[in-house]
Amino acid sequence: MSIKRLAILGCAAFVAAGAIGVQAACIDCGTVTDVQTVKKEGEGSGAGMVIGGIAGGVLGHQVGSGRGKDVATVAGAAGGAYVGNEVEKNKKTTTSYVVRVKMEDGSNRSFTFSAPTSYQAGDKVKIVDRKLVRR
């Protein structure tokens, strides 16, 4: 056997042996880099303001007599409208939890959950059916 052929066979054997030990990169795998809690303030539709204004006006009308009763009614309506609007906005406030993942291919992905998650920075994860699972 010639030296040239022997060198080619040796290189081929070396490459084949190296390929057996190399594992293909997992394209659906990554590491959690950050978990954030995101609060979105609700918006008032006006219903809370109207209901609060009516309730406040009724309660204010129960106070005082004469001109004082009129002032109390107006103040109660204004205060009730403000409180009703704030209560409505508070009720519509939502909280979501965003898990950011650095994928093994170098890309970044984020996943939003409506309930708190147990994922923490450094967790090894895999995407299965568009959902995060621990590895």
Q: What is the CATH number of the domain that holds 33?
A: 2.40.50
Task: Work out how many domains the chain is built from and give that number.
Answer: 2
Q: Compute how many other C-beta atoms are within 10 angstroms of the C-beta atom of residue 63.
A: 13
User: How far apart, in whole angstroms, are the C-alpha atoms of residue 115 and residue 93?
Assistant: 14
Domain interval for residue 21: 3-41+93-134
pLDDT at 5: 63
Give the residue with greater pLDDT, 30 vs 58. 30
Assess whether 119 and 98 both reside in one domain: yes
Of residues 11 and 32, the one with the higher pLDDT is 32
**Is the Cβ–Cβ distance between 102 and 108 less than 8 Å?**
yes
Same domain, 37 and 63: no
Q: d(Cα 135, Cα 82) in Å, to the nearest integer? A: 50
Distance CA 12, CA 64 (A): 101
Whole-number mean pLDDT of the chain?
79
Kindly state whether residues 7 and 37 are assigned to the same domain: yes
Q: What is the pLDDT of residue 10?
A: 55
Residues 53 and 117 in one domain: no
CA dist., res. 76 & res. 58, Å (int):
8
Residue 64 sits in the same domain as residue 127:
no
Whole-angstrom distance, CA of residue 11 vs CA of residue 76? 90
Q: Is there a single domain that holds both residue 72 and residue 9?
A: no
Q: Are residues 52 and 82 in the same domain?
A: yes
- 26 and 61 assigned to the same domain: no
pLDDT at 8: 63
> pLDDT band at residue 9, thresholds of 50, 70 and 90?
low
Of residues 92, 82, 87, 80, the one with CA closest to residue 52: 80
- Kindly report, residue by residue over 62-120, the tens digit of the pLDDT: 776 777 777 777 777 788 778 877 787 777 788 999 999 999 999 999 999 999 999 99
Same domain assignment for residues 19 and 54: no
Q: Which of 19-28, 52-61, 78-87 has the lowest mean pLDDT?
A: 19-28
Same domain, 72 and 82: yes
pTM of the model: 0.56
Non-local CB neighbours of 25 within 8 Å, separated by 6+ positions = 104, 105
